[in-house]
Structure 1
Amino acid sequence: MTETAPAPTAPLRARAEIDLAALRANVRTLRALAPGAALMAVVKSDAYGHGAVPCARAAVEAGAAWLGTATPEEALALRAAGLPGRIMCWLWTPGGPWREAIEADIDVSVSGMWALAEVTAAARVAGIPARVQLKADTGLGRGGCQPGEDWAELVAAALRAEAEGTVRITGLWSHFACADEPGHPSIALQLTRFREMLAYAEGRGVRPEVRHIANSPATLTLPEAHFDLVRTGIALYGISPSPEMGGPADFGLRPVMTLSASIALVKHVPGGHGVSYGHHYITPGATTLGLVPVGYADGVPRHASGTGPVLVGGKWRTVAGRVAMDQFVVDLGGDEPEAGTEAVLFGPGDRGEPTAEDWAQAAGTIAYEIVTRIGTRVPRVYVNEQQSG
């Protein structure tokens, strides 16, 4: 988990500033969009690169009733850090830390019979029932139990385990494939299938605490999918799950992370000067070059070589040549900012800086990947840690 860095007394090589006030505001906005449902703040992958523990605490302060992680190790780390309330994790493999999760009062997801067998065995050893959520594959074709005979078998086995006291079936859930594409025919089909699988389980006696299928895009655009709980991931961090649906501001959200670095060198070069590996950029004339001391080892995508935008001295610049492991170059067009001048790779856009979505477009990927891949060499610096009011 990324450690909290104190506000620096001297400029850092690079920093990812995390605005916890923005995150809390995003939680409140998302809760207002789903007033009849509880909200799960998904903090997997170190809170999408923002720092799991500080972001989880801020989300709970703003009213998130659940925390969600992919791996059990992520969930256990939250509990070890003192996070209260309900925590769920869903990405299990055979031999996972079932007993530790049960003893830490973590909800675990079960998609198949092998997982149910392992969790019930762990519950017997622990001497307390496991909190189990059954996952249905309603059409994503990834995790989850297939409808029909497989679902009937899993539900029946889970009810037997509940009757013997080794599990408590706390949830029934699924995940959308195309909720970020409004009007996609799979959305209605998955909702219908989810309702059918819910009805089957509940008709056999399952009494879940929560039923949930809505991810960030469904939370924003599909109120009929909210059920008892919405699972918000990328929207929590102020990034739109689909630019085609609208930008963050269109949903009342604000980006939480600002990534910046200190210019390490500014120098004059003549025209015809090759820049970075492979000389894929040649200066068109005499100019100045600025060295930005972050690279793909820090999470700057190499696919954005020649296209990634950077704000330096109030002007947008573009990565000149290839992004290297630890650094890249921008053509400053004759401007001469001092070494140490801030170069902003992305942020909310308030100061005219690029956004994570701009970098996603430059790299041919999605903004999820841009923020999540920022490496541990870049310290997270938390601002607005204390909730006002």
Structure 2
Amino acid sequence: MSSGASLLGGEAVVTAGVYVHVPFCLTRCGYCDFNAYAGLDELKPRYLRALLGEIALSAPAWSDVEVGSVFLGGGTPTTMTPGDLGSLLAELRRAFDIATDAEITTEANPDTVDEASLSGLLAAGYTRLSMGAQSFDPAVLRALERVHTPDSVRQAFEAARSARYANVNLDLIYGADGETLESWERSIAETIALAPEHVSAYALTIEPATALGRAVARGDVRAPDPDVQADMFQLACSMLGDGGYGHYEISNWAKPGYECRHNLGYWRRQPYLGLGAGAHSYRDDRRWWNVRPPEEYLATVERCELPIGGSETLDAADAYLEEIFLRLRILEGVPSSWIDDERAEPYLESGLLTEDDGSLVPTERGMLLLNELVLGLTARE
């Protein structure tokens, strides 16, 4: 089956995404399990050269595919200079068939940008900005070990508008130790007042290998309360919906026309190429990933070798399960004909699913139990 094609028929998707991983950060937050590092600034020039080298090594295999989106993530891409990020994007444009109307995003943390740097990024072609606000409560930011303040977010957002950014996402996290429903309500209200085009709101998860995970295991920090997080999710649904944001994926809301095309590509199983240390790629039901340690990544590319660390191929059953899960996750639903009536009926009756124009779509309650919902709908006899 071609990447992005429906498992039960339909046309294959012809556009792809390119993700570029920048692993540098000002500090390492206790909850973060991404491939990110503080204190490696001396590697930046070498890392940029390696990215350009990996582009040259990877591009021939993607010459037949139009690229509809580019996304720089991390880490914090904006710890690198606008000039370096501009050179990177220029090389991507030379090497790949990037659509003239492609969505080009860079992530940013508030303390790493100002109006001048954002103007430089916009001039270089990064037309969408995704900013890690996380919260507007100082106590919550401290619990998350974020180094910025609520004022930093406000100032960075104002700088983005002054730089003429017209497509900005704010990332939020809910459920940190000590956060109350009232605090979360204030953060959502502040977010809506700023009027970004897009909002992402993620429930804090505890990863065992992180500093926060170890603190929770020792009993030093309380784990998030799933019932409180469920209330926070429902509050976000209500407030953001009333604020004019459409809920198009479990953790993502957008004003009409500002849905993140790059992430939709992931969720629609379109092909994507990952560049950089630890980046993942997907095409034709095959996934592969780069080596994670930056030094190993650099050494491999400097030998003119693709830095692939491993791969896997989905069989038909796994591909089907993934498609069901992702279709429900982006609230497009699955055709009712895909699911036996006797499997769907209990979830329809309990209010976890609703039927809309021939598709089964999760309700807000169903979104909170998506894994169980998918397993129940697809369980083998």
TM-score (norm 1): 0.38
Q: Which has the higher contact order (CA 8 A, sep 6+)?
A: 1
For the pair shown, the structure with the greater C-alpha radius of gyration is 1
More helix by share: 2
